[in-house]
Amino acid sequence: MRKILHADCDCFYAAVEMRDQPALREVPLAVGGSAERRGVVATCNYPARAFGVRSAMPTAKALRLCPELVVLPPDFARYRAVSEQIQTLFTELTPLIEPLSLDEAYLDVSEVERFRGSATWMARWLKEQTLARTGITLSVGVAPSKFLAKIASDWDKPDGLTVITPADVDGFLRTLSVAKLHGVGPATTAKLETLGIHTCDDLRQRSLAELLERFGKFGRHLYQLARGIDEREVKITRERKSVSVETTFDHDLPDLAACRQALMPLFDKLQQRLARHDHPPSDKRFVKVRFDDFSLTSMESMGTASDPHGFQHLLEQAWQRGARPVRLLGVGVRLVPEDAQRQLTLFDEG
């Protein structure tokens, strides 16, 4: 039986700011872009959350909910330095680490013999050492699988430690909301609830055939998770699947002509990023458009990443879906792994 930890820093960016400026600890605090520049909240502390402020919320809305909110611009260099300290601490416990972002990671401690092999004791040590060395609190979930460990780390935030033993899995899952399952978003949750499926126990009452019929391939995923089946391993290296650039504009782009003009600087920046990337891009490119009503659309097609006309054509198609002012544009390409690239080359030669 595997022993997986999911370690997640509590409101990480805000936590670093509160550590460095103790006067901010008791006041509502957000890290993100300014309201004047149409920024969004990257993260916020728990006093701010009490007012309904959340990550990814427009800063202007956050300030309406909490006029006393202190908004600080992000300092990613400082956050990365703290993250590196924490990641180094993880390596003292196990080499099997899968970072998910600056502030969270999976650790496979199945073969670790320290602490008499107790994953619970390992989690306590991680929490204590992270706080002592960096001043940042860590919430940790302990479970036999990745998806349960992630749920557990969020169960008792902030500064939480939740353990789901193999013997606990069945009972824990029976009452668990389907909204907590890996990959289940608001739309799938709503569809499940219209079918009378609210908990994993409800989900278990449905056959695999029915779930496949209603949800396609994702039905098998639902069937397995409701029974605690998650065989995903902790991946030491994560393969990058795309390279992209995007920008949110200070003022909405009023029409397609303005969008075309704004696209070229993004295209140039994308070419610079691709030049620094080790893997060759595939022949699939994409454009992302967020309109002033926050609706989002994207278009992708086959074609070389170095052709600006291809991106312009995608932009025109994407813009026609909303035909309204635009607040964000993005461009990018999908990446092909090196072995897949070799296979494509061999196929082309044959």
Annotated binding site: 8, 103
**How many CA atoms within 13 Å lie on the side-chain side of 307?**
12
Give the C-alpha separation, 45 to 22, whole Å: 13
- The values of phi and psi at residue 36, to 5°, are -65, -30
Tell me whether strands 281-291 and 242-253 are parallel, antiparallel or unpaired.
unpaired
- Whether the bond between 58 and the residue before it is cis, its omega within 30 degrees of 0, is no
300 is catalytic: no
**How many CA atoms within 13 Å lie on the side-chain side of 168?**
13
Residue 297: count of CB within 10 angstroms of its CB? 15
Of the residues 17, 26, 104, 210, only one is catalytic, namely 104
Give the C-alpha separation, 165 to 143, whole Å: 6
Give the C-alpha separation, 90 to 102, whole Å: 13
Where would I find the beta strands (DSSP E) of 39-123? 41-44, 70-72, 97-101, 104-108
**Nearest to 132, CA basis, from 101, 78, 89, 192:** 89
**Tokens 């994560």 sit on residue:** 238
SS3 (DSSP) at 262: helix
Give the C-alpha separation, 111 to 117, whole Å: 8
Give the C-alpha separation, 44 to 15, whole Å: 9
Cα–chain-centroid distance for residue 196?
A: 29
- Please check whether residue 107 is in contact with residue 96, taking contact to mean a CB–CB distance below 8 angstroms: yes
Residues of each annotated binding site for Mg(2+): 8, 103
Tell me whether strands 70-72 and 29-32 are parallel, antiparallel or unpaired.
parallel
Q: Where does residue 342 rank: exposed (0-12), middle (13-18), buried (19+ CB within 10 A)? A: exposed
- Please check whether residue 9 is in contact with residue 86, taking contact to mean a CB–CB distance below 8 angstroms: yes
Give the catalytic positions in this structure.
104
